[in-house]
Structure 1
Amino acid sequence: MKTVRQLLYRDVVWSVVFVAVAFLSLFFFIDFVDDLENVGRGDYTLGQAVARCVLELPGHFYELFPIAVLIGTIYAMARLAQSSEFTILRTAGLGPGRALRLLALPGLVFALITFVVGDYVAPLSERQAVALKAGVRGGVSLGSGGAWLKERRTGADGERSISINVTAAGGGGELLGVRIFEFDTDGRLRTRLEAASGQVLADGHWQLREVQRTDWPTPEAALLGRPLQQQSLPELAWPSTLDATVVAAALLPVGVMSTVDLWRHTGHLSDQDQAVQRYEIAFWKKALYPLACVVMVALALPFAYLHARAGGVSYKVFGGIMLGISFVLLNNASGHLGMLRQWTPWLVAAAPSGLYLLISMGAFAWLVRYR
């Protein structure tokens, strides 16, 4: 059995590594060619373009690894079937259940690798890539409307609801184009702050620079003739309960957030009575995505039971690869469908993996029974 494990694991691992390296090389080349037009603009050099493309490789690895696992495992299983090695192993006593258990181990290892890269390596490298891009280009735009955050604060004049808009993110965690709106319990605007830039400090304050502050009087004070107050301040330490982790989660794309960051941000949105379904679906997809590697291995196992003499092996292998790609497409589409239809988040994330696992087990059982 040790020899069988070595034979299967060696073929599967090397095939998966080869496919993963090929995918990463292709995407590195595409990113590099796409970024060449920016070289020479400002201080953006060829070395920085290469560095940015390298920093984006862990994210590509995380997205593509389940497909690499599928293609590599299908290739290894089909090669064993074509050379009749798997037939010999079956004759020697390698039953379907044992074969499934043997391949479950590399599937779990691949899932662990996907989890580590997706939760630790990719978020860190993507943030470094964003910081590099921001440092060279003077900031990264967050879209036409920017990013919005919300918090509540209780003070001497009662509870206030605060909405914060950030236009762009600069290098080193700097926030650009910060606008802060404070509303009282009746929904009336009480204070507006507009700052050219800001920084989230660790002591519970935001350090705002070049601030324009406008304060509106209460209705009672307005009746007494008190005017609104306007100030121009070079700097302002603005107290806030939003720390750097929550702010970064709101500014970064959902795809580069770790599972822990998604969990924390979902909790923050829930506490502020904001819509959380998008982030709940993203959290469950992030948590369950590594299990796609196990599904891909199970999907590839039936190809070991193909008979080369029956012909059409290449077409069947191609069909298996297309089935795996359809899994990725369905996995991506399910999140959008779930948000549109208001489906249960964990069910939206688990449905594609469960469906394709059933398909793979059904195909496996049919091949063992009739072929």
Structure 2
Amino acid sequence: MTVAAAFEALYGAVPDGVWAAPGRVNLIGEYTDFNDGFVLPLALPHTAVAAVSRRDDGVLRLHSADVDGGTVHLDVADLEPLSGGGWAAYPAGVVWALREAGHPVTGADVHLGSTVPTGAGLSSSAALEVVTALALNDLFGLGLSRPELARVAQHAENAFVGVPCGIMDQMASACARAGHALHLDTRDLAHRQVPFDPGSQGLRLLVVDTRVKHALGDGAYAERRAGCEAGARALGVRTLREVSAAHLPEALGRLSDETILRYVRHVVSDNARVERTVALLAAGDLRAVGPVLTEGHASLRDDLRVSCPELDLVVETANAAGALGARMTGGGFGGSVVVLVEDECAAAVAAAVESAFAGAGYAAPGVFPAVPAAGARRL
């Protein structure tokens, strides 16, 4: 049953429209977005799809095809941050954020279905937020731009759900273009589309979902964000974006806290890795991006310490089996790995990872190609 048909069966009327917003995978630039840094995500074909109708009576009804339980009934005037609600907090938070910003959102009926894997570091929550924001923007004629919708979605996750995420996930979902990666400057949301077509060079970008579920609300993400902010204060800068790679050794010499030093080293070096990757893509040398990915994983593992045995096993096994490079992507502590590989080696690399997981007693990973897809849109 389509999302629209399910909406009609649920609510007894045809929806006003159907919208989609994708998950994303981040090629390079991790934990940089809340430091005003650079990121390079691309949208995935996996999407959250929402059938939505406008209401003018203050009632918000939410239903998900992917979660057991009935319809969630809420009053838009009574929405409160950090009040729980599970999956429904994401779309409800968007309604709250729009109303808090003064936009006249007076209720909606929403039915959602998503193919974005949850807990895999592929931004399933951002897809829910962005698809809701885009639908309400259209239905209520709010006139918000894509970056403005991304800001609303981020505010919903930060202030309503309680996850202190940066802006990358929502911008990727809202603004990505098929066949491109999104080179985003998170300081001012300046962004440009960078052509990214591994297949044209005989390559493939694989996503390996370890099936290890992470939860960014558990405090580890927030602790690293706080550590980065402490590092910026210690260095006398507003954010770590202001520390260049050339000045990194001098900056590290001024830090006495070993943990903060590691965090600073990761963020500054990963900003530089984004810029190196963009330059390599512009030069048509995608193969040279492989070692940059592996270098980035080592930084996430050793300096930021957000990896886990399953993620490390994917990277080590893939590289040993002939991949050009690999790294964990997303918030870490589980989730997914991106692997850059020659097309003719992709099956062998995937088989090697699956065999390694079986040998370690881990659940079988999910492996699929990352094909740069379109951002949020009305269907």
Same fold per superposition (TM over 0.5): no
Structure (1 or 2) with the larger CA radius of gyration: 1
Structure with larger RCO (C-alpha < 8 A, sep 6+):
2
The normalised TM-score by structure 2 is: 0.22
TM-score normalised by length of structure 1: 0.23
Q: Which has the higher helix share?
A: 1
